[in-house]
Amino acid sequence: MAVVETTDKTFEADTSKGVTLTDFWATWCGPCRMQSPVVEQLSDEMGDVTFNKMDVDANPDTPQKFGIMSIPTLLVKKDGQVVDSIVGYHTKDQLKQLLTQYVEA
């Protein structure tokens, strides 16, 4: 699988089914650049999760709607409902553990 770019217009449809993780990031953000490869690796390993990323500078409406004030923020949804949100850099193991609880639930 791959990490799919999502926008303000496509976000709701892109995250409406199953377990999804959206990486809110910006090109100028150092920790975001560290987090992106981790999310990419997970997308290859966890076929039962949909992975998206959203550039907060190009898409301000969705981050505002969810009160995202710091990046990277990773928003986890299950069947369209927000179930978790974490801020800052996280390791692959940390993210895998987080996502597994929602996949198995």
Question: What do you get for the CA distance between the two ends of the chain, in Å?
Answer: 22
Q: At residue 5, does pLDDT exceed 90?
A: yes
Query: pLDDT tens for residues 90-104?
Result: 999 999 999 999 998
Helix, strand, coil % over all residues of the chain, rounded to 5? 35, 30, 35
Does 32 participate in catalysis according to the annotation?
yes
Catalytic residue from among 29, 86, 87, 98:
29
Strands across the sheet with 49-55, in order? Answer: 4-5, 49-55, 19-25, 73-78, 81-87
Catalytic residue from among 3, 19, 32, 56:
32
In the prediction, which pLDDT does 75 show?
Answer: 98
User: Which amino acid is located at 93 in the chain?
Assistant: D
Query: pLDDT tens for residues 70-79?
Result: 999 999 999 9
- C-alpha closest to that of 36 among 51, 56, 50, 18: 51
Q: The pTM is what?
A: 0.95
User: For the chain, what is the mean pLDDT?
Assistant: 96
Q: What is the CATH class of 1-102?
A: alpha beta
Domain range annotation of the chain: 1-102
Residue whose pair of structure tokens reads 């978790």 in the numeric block: 84
